[in-house]
């Protein structure tokens, strides 16, 4: 699969799936950087890699959620 074919397929996906692909590519880049050139066997993740991926997946789309609280709801404020 070439770059052009990859882009064509990516463009056919809905926005949320495109975001998921982007997150995965970001994860792969991070994984490569952490490994420092050492490639893990397929399915082998470090704890840090898994934690980052899990947090990314858990928080995906949260930026679109409406804010359900106000400053009056805070117990204390950072000064």
Residue (of 26, 29, 27) closest to 49 by Cα position: 27
List the chain residues with pLDDT less than 50. none
pLDDT at position 66 is: 80
Report pLDDT for 12: 92
Q: Where are the domains of the chain?
A: 9-59
| pTM greater than 0.75 | no
- pLDDT of amino acid 4: 84
User: What mean pLDDT value characterizes the chain?
Assistant: 79
Give the pLDDT of residue 38. 56
Q: What is the pLDDT of residue 37?
A: 57
Nearest in space to 45 (alpha carbons), one of 26, 32, 59, 58? 32
């Amino acid at each position: 699969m070439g770059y052009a074919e990859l882009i064509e397929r990516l463009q056919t996906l809905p926005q949320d799936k495109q975001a998921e692909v982007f997150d995965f590519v970001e994860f792969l880049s991070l994984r490569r950087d952490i490994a420092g050139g050492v490639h893990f066997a397929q399915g082998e993740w470090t704890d840090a890699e898994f934690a980052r991926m899990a947090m990314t997946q858990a928080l995906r789309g949260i930026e679109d959620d409406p804010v359900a609280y106000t400053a009056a709801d805070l117990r204390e404020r950072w000064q």
